[in-house]
Structure 1
């Protein structure tokens, strides 16, 4: 007689394809809706995803639960994008951090600002700790090589650079600056905070092809696009 009982050691069954795709559709819709209205409800997000209210509650019991998953995915995306950055010139490395960071958050600037400044900011800050350690390592490299300012302790300088970069995000939300303008601005403020004059920063950008907007890896916050790009 066949034993039809479920073994406790059997691997959990993967979700059905339609359930997985629905979840991605919900997350993509949330990215879009929350970027236009940070107070968008689950019902609004469900409608944008082409799903019923009942369907979205099958994936997320509360709006906070949905926002938390978006935050976690965003943290993972930013961390992965910045992790490979290495350069002998700390000034270029620092500029690359700014450029890659902007590429990752530019199309979700409102929700990115909410994640960093909002009620989950401490959790988000903890998740971004690897990024902060990477920036600190670049600053220490630059200070030791005489490429960055030496009148401020490296750990403090790294925090000031982070604050300067986040101020660009705030300005981008306030004034809806363009992708190209934000790209150049975040590099300029990071380098200026690090000790370069505005002329030196501009010359470095113009002399470093890897800092060009077109040289940055494509980034997409939409999970459906990222999944499609990963398919053979």
Structure 2
């Protein structure tokens, strides 16, 4: 294995452990991340000189994954409510991993996290706007605000399901679709189509 590949694997392992550690305790420090990763603090600091840089890297990873899921879910000519339901079904396994970003977003890293999530939020607003234009989503709020409300509900449900076993994917799918103004029978039908 090349040295570069080994460094990448160590960095990725630290990020994997950090998201778990911060998920359990959003105030966890670099020493706790290092201990959980089985490395010395100096190793963690070698990759991420500050806690802010660690959170930045975690957010970049989340944005990349979430944007990929959203792109895969909205690449067809289906109705926007179907695409939203597909997005939530694909996103749900990742939400538990990245729900800590919601807590971190409320604190000192909020501005940075918000800026990094900007492209995802724009994509979601565009999807909701398309749904409003198709008349499958309500117009009770502007598309950018409505997308944030529905998107936040998914993370709120995940935050109340720390084990990841209390709610299935139907709960965030139906809830977010209802918030988007989709009639309940249609929301239930769309949720039933998902794994």
Structures share a fold, TM > 0.5?
A: yes
CA distance in 2 between partners of 1:162 and 1:49 (Å): 34
Q: Is the 8 A contact 1:105 1:112 kept in 2?
A: no
CA distance in 2 between partners of 1:41 and 1:63 (Å): 7
- Scaled by the length of structure 1, the TM-score of the pair is 0.71
- The answer on 1:45 being equivalent to 2:33 is yes
Show the 5 A alignment for 1:1-232.
16-84=4-72, 85-86=74-75, 87-109=77-99, 111-149=100-138, 151-152=139-140, 156-176=142-162, 178-179=164-165, 181-206=167-192, 208=193, 212-213=194-195
Report how many aligned residue pairs link the two structures: 192
Structure 1: stretches of 5+ with no match in the other structure: 1-13, 214-232
What do the CA deviations read for 1:171-212 (whole angstroms, capped 9, x no partner)? 432353635725212211221122223233112323x3xxx1
CA distance in 2 between partners of 1:60 and 1:181 (Å): 35
- Scaled by the length of structure 2, the TM-score of the pair is 0.82
CA distance in 1 between partners of 2:48 and 2:153 (Å): 32
What do the CA deviations read for 1:33-85 (whole angstroms, capped 9, x no partner)? 11111122211211211112222222222222212211111112211221232
CA distance in 1 between partners of 2:26 and 2:134 (Å): 43
CA distance in 1 between partners of 2:127 and 2:134 (Å): 11
CA distance in 2 between partners of 1:16 and 1:140 (Å): 43
Structure 2: stretches of 5+ with no match in the other structure: none
Give the alignment's Cα RMSD to 1 decimal: 2.5
> Which of structures 1 and 2 has the larger relative contact order (alpha carbons within 8 angstroms, sep 6+)?
1
Matched residue of 1:128: which SS?
helix
